[in-house]
Structures are given as structure tokens and as C-alpha cells.
Amino acid sequence: QVQLVESGGGLVQPGGSLRLSCTVSNIFSAGQMGWYRQAPGNEREWVARISSVGVTSYAAAVKGRFTISRDNLRSMVYLQMNSLTPEDTAVYYCHSDSYGHWGQGTQVTVSS
């Protein structure tokens, strides 16, 4: 079974940084991967994606602040989040776009 597990969330002050990690298990290649987020009362929104060969795309709200990357040999995907604001507060989810699997999510809270 394809399994995705996120980690790295937590409480951070505005202007701070966090790095989220997603471990992908039980497949040789994760294909295209994405990060999504969902704030309370809101729909889940797309944040960033990275292709199997490393081509990246970002939502306008995070472009220039967030960086998605991957380590295929370690079957991991990362989301480096800089210059965080309270609007970034959400549960962040890792997603295998090629296989349609979601991780369990990790909470990111940006607050003073």
C-alpha cells in the first residue's frame, strides 16, 4: 500500500520558518507530489507540486516564500516555508498526485 506520512509542523512566530517532510512508502517512484493545506472552515487548497523530475509549481499565495523539493532516493518530499504569516495557519497535507493518496496532515500554526 502507498503510504504518506507528514511531519515537521508546529507553532512558529510570524516571519519564521518551518520545514515539512513527507515520507512516501511502498512504491519505487512517487511520481508527481503535491502539498495542500486546509484552514478551519475552508476547503483544502493546493499549495505546491513537484514532478517526478523536479519541475515545481506554486500557488500565488506562497510563491517566493515556499519551496517544494524531493529526494527520490530517500522517497521524501519537503516543503520549506519561510516568511510565515498567520494566514499560513492550516493543516498541511502531502499528496501523491500520480496515485491519489493523502497523508494524515500536520498542523502548522503561525502566531505570536
- Tell me: the pLDDT tens digits for 12-22? 999 999 999 99
pLDDT digits (tens, 9 = 90+) for 31-48: 999 999 999 999 999 999
Cβ–Cβ under 8 Å, residues 100 and 3: no
Give the pLDDT score at 28: 67
H helices of the chain, in order, are none
* Confidence band for 73, pLDDT divided at 50, 70 and 90: confident
Please indicate whether residue 39 or residue 26 has the higher confidence score (pLDDT).
39
pLDDT of residue 43: 97
Give the pLDDT of residue 26: 78
d(CA 4, CA 46): 17
